[in-house]
Amino acid sequence: MGTRHISHAAIIRQKDGVIKAKSPNFVLGPNDLTKIESAFEHPREVRSSDNGITFLEVPYRAVRADSLSIYAKNDKAGIIVSKTMQHYIIAAYDPTMYASVAVEAVEKLGE
């Protein structure tokens, strides 16, 4: 994640929600993991919903949502969530960063 195109990130174990690794400024809210799990269970709703997904109290519009990845953005920033066999990899980028570089970093880490 040393691309300088990710503002904060975390790796979270799916089965129990334990944060296995995170950047210092990453704080997971009490409902954020539930929202991510729900988004992967119902990707069509995330894509078609005007609300998209809210993460860390910020609403995002889904650009892509399927059983393995969620890409979402708002006016100024975005998030990428990749689902592996055992973990969720969550990364956020800000307006000064390239979304394509952030996506590539997250997807490679998830392989």
Ordered strands of the 78-83 beta sheet: 19-22, 8-13, 87-93, 78-83, 69-73, 58-65, 53-55
**Pairing state of beta strands 87-93 and 69-73?**
unpaired
Q: Please determine, for residue 50, whether its predicted confidence score (pLDDT) is greater than 80.
A: no
Please say whether the dihedral angle defined by the alpha carbons of residues 104, 79, 66 and 50, taken in this order, is positive or negative: negative
Give the global pTM: 0.88
If you average pLDDT over residues 90-97, what whole number do you get? 90
pLDDT range class, residue 29, cuts 50, 70, 90: confident
- Look over the chain and give the mean of its residue pLDDT values, rounded to a whole number: 86
Q: How confident is the model at residue 3 (pLDDT cuts 50, 70, 90)?
A: low
| Structure confidence at residue 81 (pLDDT) | 93
| pLDDT at 82 exceeding the cut of 80 | yes
